[in-house]
Amino acid sequence: MIYISTHDYTIEQLKDLEKGLYYASRLIDESPECEEHELCTRNCRAYGICTDLTNAMLRLNEDILEREQCELHGNQKESE
């Protein structure tokens, strides 16, 4: 499990972190440890880290979208 505290980061920093996690997952996918390439299964030696990276990226994406929506909603209120 990868835990990332997102409170102290800007939206842009979180997007950069998400890209970094994606790049790391691609490197693992291209490595000899990855036996399934693009279709991770429990039989693969890289399954654990691939799953953790994917879950971290999904949570980051959710946080980013939520913050963008809050920012958009805040900007709409200010313009009224």
- The tens digit of pLDDT for each residue in 22-37 reads 999 989 888 887 776 6
Q: Which long-range contacts (CB under 8 A, 24 or more apart) does 27-35 make?
A: 28/53
**Which one has a higher pLDDT value, 6 or 37?**
6
Nearest to 49 by CA among 15, 25, 27, 17: 25
End-to-end Cα distance, the chain: 43
User: Which string of DSSP letters, residue by residue, matches 62-74?
Assistant: HHHHHHHHHHHHH
What pLDDT score does 76 carry? 62
Q: What is the mean pLDDT of residues 1-24?
A: 93
At residue 4, does pLDDT exceed 80?
A: yes
What pLDDT score does 15 carry? 96
What pLDDT score does 53 carry? 93
Nearest to 2 by CA among 13, 18, 26, 23: 18
The chain-wide mean pLDDT, for the chain, equals 86
Residue type (1 letter), 44: C
Residue type (1 letter), 1: M
